[in-house]
Structure 1
């Protein structure tokens, strides 16, 4: 399988998962974070689509958590 198809498949898997779980953020931002994460793993030699997708999802979740303004806890 070519690198291009590997990237496309991994991206589609990650995007579909985030969309289905309601975690998808702004499209441009989400796409950039996912693609950057996939590219970084490819440079390290990873070629398994599910591994690429799962790591990209983890990267997006970490990014989204850092980008979210912290809100004080509400009680009562």
Structure 2
């Protein structure tokens, strides 16, 4: 499987899961977080789409919690 197909597959898995659970936020920000997480893993040699997706979901959830905590402190 090519890197492009791997990224597309992992992104689709993560995006679909987050969308179905209602966790997906603004599309542009969400896409950037997911893609950044996938790219970081690719740099370490990970190539399994499901693993890439699962870790991207974890990264997205972590980023969402940090964002929520910042908003709570501000307001």
* TM more than 0.5: yes
The TM-score with structure 2 as length reference comes to 0.92
Question: Which residue number corresponds to residue 50 of structure 1?
Answer: 50
TM-aligned CA deviation for residue 66 of structure 1 = 0.5
CA–CA separation in structure 2 for the residues paired with 1:27 and 1:8: 16
In the alignment, which residue of structure 2 is the partner of 1:37? Answer: 37
Runs of 4+ in 1 over 4 A off after TM superposition: none
Equivalence for 1:10:
10
Structure index of larger Rg: 1
> Which protein has the bigger helix share?
2
Stretches of structure 2 that go unaligned for 5 or more consecutive residues are none
Q: 5+ residue gaps in structure 1?
A: 72-76
CA RMSD of aligned residues (A): 0.9
TM-score with structure 1 setting the length: 0.91
Q: Report how many residues are paired.
A: 71
SS of the equivalent of 1:70 reads helix
